[in-house]
Structure 1
Amino acid sequence: MLQNDIFTIIGKAVDALQQAGEIAPGGMIVLGCSTSEVAGARIGKGSVPELGQIIASAMLEACRKRGLYAAFQCCEHLNRAIVMEQEALDARRLTQVKAVPQPKAGGSVPAAAWKLLSRPALAVNVQADAAIDIGDTLVGMHIRPVAVPLRMEENRIGHANLVMAYSRLPFIGGSRAVYE
């Protein structure tokens, strides 16, 4: 898969999520990605740092163009902590933890994002407005309830599945409640 294709697909995914989820500037989209799966290997078994660089760059560019924060889920070796700009962590009053993601301890995409961000920080968790999952990384744990699946025509990056979800406010109040 070509670098331009990755940038195009991730840009379309961010657009679709921002539109469907009505995500305002300052909102956050978290990305979970297995470069192993993108390359055709089993998750966690064939990390590709070069792909991590391309995918992290594509996500950062797509989010910045739209006034959104990008966040990146680490793998289970870092307890699925989230890489983001320090500014985003502070604005959301998240709990910061200390580690520097590496391709084999955190993942290739978060490791690349760490180097690309101006002031990288690691949060223990987040409740983002939306999520993109490339390679079945189970990023849904980092979406604010209620998660709504979203599909688009491009549903793969390389060999990896691409799935997305955005959050909506929970409906409360029962049969007499009125919703706009």
Structure 2
Amino acid sequence: MNELVIRVSRPLTQALEEFQNEAHLQKGHLFIIGASTSEVLGERIGSSGTIEVAGALWEAISQFQKKTGVLCAYQGCEHINRALVVERETAGSYNLEPVSVIPHPKAGGSMAAYAFNQMRDPVVVEGLKAHGGIDIGDTFIGMHLKKVAVPVRTSIKEIGDAHLTLARTRPKFIGGDRAVYYK
């Protein structure tokens, strides 16, 4: 069996299943993916990214997308200001304005570049507010999450050698002592 499947796809699939059991993302919700393929390999972020690792991550995330119906947004690195790769249809549904950049491994990162090349009709947008997300290798996806972000803990703490963080969001609680809230 391919080593990348064992080190990357299997634990990522498990983490996403555990995440969904708590987050309950629905069809059409935005799901952000930030991933450092360098960190997965045990290297410093931005130093040794590979399309092969991105492909292994893509496989697990694609299965999650098919199962849940979420709309994926792949965050690029700081060299493209953490802009996001989405399908053109997603950009239209959420009124997101495309920008002119094509991510590649050295400016955008291997994951965003891979996603751009795999999608049917990709565009890059500057920002969005997602319902949940996954951060593989401390890429800082928080700027693209709706308020209020809630960490989701899973039994999987790392993908390869990269630290793993997942978050869902919930509406703000407002109104004080007299207010009544729903979950």
Tell me the TM-score normalised to structure 2 length.
0.92
In the TM superposition, 1:153-164 aligns within 5 A as 153-164=155-166
Runs of 4+ in 1 over 4 A off after TM superposition: none
Matched, 1:89 2:91: yes
Q: Cα RMSD over matched residues?
A: 1.4
List per-residue Cα deviations over 1:65-123 (Å, max 9, x = no partner). Answer: 22111110000011100001111111000121111110111000111111111111111
Which of the residues 149, 153, 159 maps onto 2:151? 149
Q: Match for 2:47: what amino acid? A: K
Q: Match for 1:139: what amino acid? A: I
Q: Match for 2:50: what amino acid? A: V
What is the aligned partner in structure 2 of residue 3 from structure 1?
5
In structure 2, list runs of 5 or more residues that go unmatched: none
- Stretch of structure 1 that moved more, 35-44 or 61-70: 61-70
After superposition, the Cα gap between the structure-2 partners of 1:5 and 1:46, relative to the gap in structure 1 and judged at 3 Å, is: closer
What is the aligned partner in structure 1 of residue 74 from structure 2?
72
2:31 and 2:6 map into 1 onto residues whose CA distance is 21
In the TM superposition, 1:6-25 aligns within 5 A as 6-25=8-27
- Conserved 8 A contact 2:25-2:68: no
How far does residue 14 in structure 1 lie from its aligned partner after superposition? Answer: 2.9
Matched, 1:100 2:102: yes
Aligned residues: 180
In structure 1, list runs of 5 or more residues that go unmatched: none
In the TM superposition, 1:15-54 aligns within 5 A as 15-54=17-56
What is the aligned partner in structure 2 of residue 114 from structure 1?
116
1:70 and 1:6 map into 2 onto residues whose CA distance is 18
How far does residue 4 in structure 1 lie from its aligned partner after superposition? Answer: 4.5
- Stretch of structure 1 that moved more, 132-141 or 44-53: 44-53
Aligned to 1:2, the other structure's residue is in SS state: helix
